[in-house]
Amino acid sequence: MRRLVPLILALLLAGAAPAAADSVTVPNSEVRVMHARDDGREYRILVARPAGPPPPAGFPVLYVLDGNAAFATAAEAVRVQGRRPAATGVAPAVVVGIGYPTDGPYDDTQRIRDFTTPADPTKLPPRPDGSPWPANGGADAFLRFLVEEVKPAIARDFPVDGTRDALFGHSLGGLFVLHTLFTRPDAFRAYAAISPSLWWNDRAILEEESRFAASAPPPGRRLLIAVGGLERQRNMVEDAEALAARLSRLGTLQVVQRTFEGENHASVVPTALSHALRATLGPAP
């Protein structure tokens, strides 16, 4: 009998042990791998779609940069607020996160390459951690991948309305959003640039702005420029507000500008997201 005690005790403990917990997932979502035709670089494309049937023209689409970090937040915001569009101003939408093959929220090396125009690293400000700047200047190649490969794949596989799509980006991602608007304004119907890094490469984005303003921009585009009130480094707040004011004066863009007091460079993202949904995918003002 004494020999059976350890066995009986082990069996009892095994029976009392909690079952392995299931992973938390975003409902109605999937992950697919895509490789850019230009250079074979790998991307994780995360997609969430509404549970209900699409409207006759299809769902609007929100494309989210830094998908590893922002996709789940964006997808849940759309899922919750899209249940009552008349009250929230947010329609059910497909959310597409453009991410990287990493388990971390960011891949600094790849995002710096993808979201920037060419710059001399010796003329850039020091990085926060003091490390050297990685390769940069891949914005146009990444934009081709996004517009010519990702968007057609989403249009092929999901019931989406190609006339109601928006691009959301933060920090260098916000810079890329503006680069897209200024150089390929027809790529998306709406744009959300959160805490855009206008300082990049001695504010070279302002040259793109000037060319855009002189080129008779297409009407009907929406733009949200948002920044946290605590982002006082590199003139982030003042530059974002001034850019929005200049673009508003063009008369062809529907510009919304928000400065969120009490928010910093990281906390502004979830704060700005709901505003971005309403500003870019909500009913026309």
Would you identify the CATH topology of the domain 25-281?
Rossmann fold (3.40.50)
Mind giving me the DSSP string for 162-200?
Answer: EEEEEEEEETHHHHHHHHHHHH-GGG-SEEEEES--TTH
Assess whether pLDDT exceeds 70 at residue 175.
yes
Interatomic CA distance for residues 280 and 104, integer angstroms: 28
Residue extents of the structural domains in the chain: 25-281
Share of the chain above pLDDT 90, in %: 78
31-86 pLDDT, tens digit per residue, is: 999 999 999 999 999 999 999 999 999 999 999 999 999 999 999 999 999 999 98
- CA gyration radius for the chain? 22
CA end-to-end span of the chain, whole Å?
81
pLDDT in tens, 97-134: 999 999 999 899 999 999 999 999 988 998 888 899 99
The answer for 215, left when phi > 0, alpha when psi is -120 to 50, beta otherwise, is alpha
d(CA 262, CA 108): 26
* pLDDT given for residue 43 in this prediction: 98
pLDDT top residue among 207 and 232: 207
Whether 8 has a pLDDT exceeding 60, the answer reads no
Buried b (16+ CB within 10 A) or exposed e, 63-91: bbbbbbbbbbbbbebbbebbeeeeebbbb
Quick one: 50 exposed, middle or buried, by C-beta within 10 A (0-12, 13-18, 19+)?
buried
Tokens, residue 84: 């009552």
Does the structure show a pLDDT above 60 at 283? yes
Overall residue count recorded for the chain in this entry: 285
Query: Which residue, among 206, 194, 212, 218, has the nearest Cα to 279 in the 3D structure?
Result: 194
Return the structure tokens found at 269.
Answer: 């993202």
| Whole-number pLDDT of residue 2 | 44
Q: What is the average pLDDT value for the chain, to the nearest integer?
A: 91
Supply the pTM of this predicted model. Answer: 0.91
Q: What is the pLDDT of residues 75-94, one digit of tens each?
A: 999 999 999 998 999 999 99
Minimal CA–CA distance to 66: which of 222, 171, 191, 162? Answer: 171
Residue 11: pLDDT over 60:
no
User: How is residue 26 written in tokens?
Assistant: 């975003």
pLDDT at 6: 46
What is the distance between the alpha carbons of residues 264 and 195, in angstroms, rounded to a whole number?
A: 9
* Catalytic residue list: 171, 231, 265
